[in-house]
């Protein structure tokens, strides 16, 4: 697998910043993919009646699968 194949489109920064392109690159914060995954994991936890002990790595992977689908839908 090449390096280009391992780089995932993260959607860029979740919250656009102000300033130069260099500043934004160095201070971009959370990616849109991470933001989408955070929103999805919140819904997954609520769907489990807020039982955080039921959280698993599988649930987190599901959240990122949702985020990836949302990024794909934006194209």
Task: Indicate the pTM of the whole model.
Answer: 0.67
3-7, 19-23, 28-32, 45-49: least confident range: 3-7
Q: List pLDDT tens digits, range 5-14.
A: 456 788 877 7
Domain that holds residue 72: 29-75
pLDDT attached to residue 1: 44
Does residue 58 sit within a domain? Answer: yes
Q: State the maximum Cα–Cα separation within the chain, in Å, rounded to a whole number.
A: 44
Cα separation, 33 vs 36, whole angstroms? 5
Going by C-alpha positions, the residue among 1, 70, 73 that lies closest to residue 39 is 70
Sequence-distant (6+) residues with CB within 8 A of 10 are 31, 32, 33, 34, 71
Number of domains, the chain: 1
Does residue 1 sit within a domain? Answer: no
Cβ pair 27, 17 in contact under 8 A: yes
Q: Please say if the pLDDT value at position 75 is more than 60.
A: yes
């Amino acid at each position: 697998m090449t390096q280009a194949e391992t780089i995932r489109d993260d959607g860029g920064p979740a919250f656009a910043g102000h300033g130069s392109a260099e500043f934004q690159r160095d201070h971009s914060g959370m990616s849109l993919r991470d933001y989408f995954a955070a929103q999805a994991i919140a819904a997954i936890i609520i769907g489990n009646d807020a039982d955080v002990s039921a959280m698993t790595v599988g649930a987190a992977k599901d959240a990122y699968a949702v985020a990836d689908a949302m990024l794909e839908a934006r194209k």
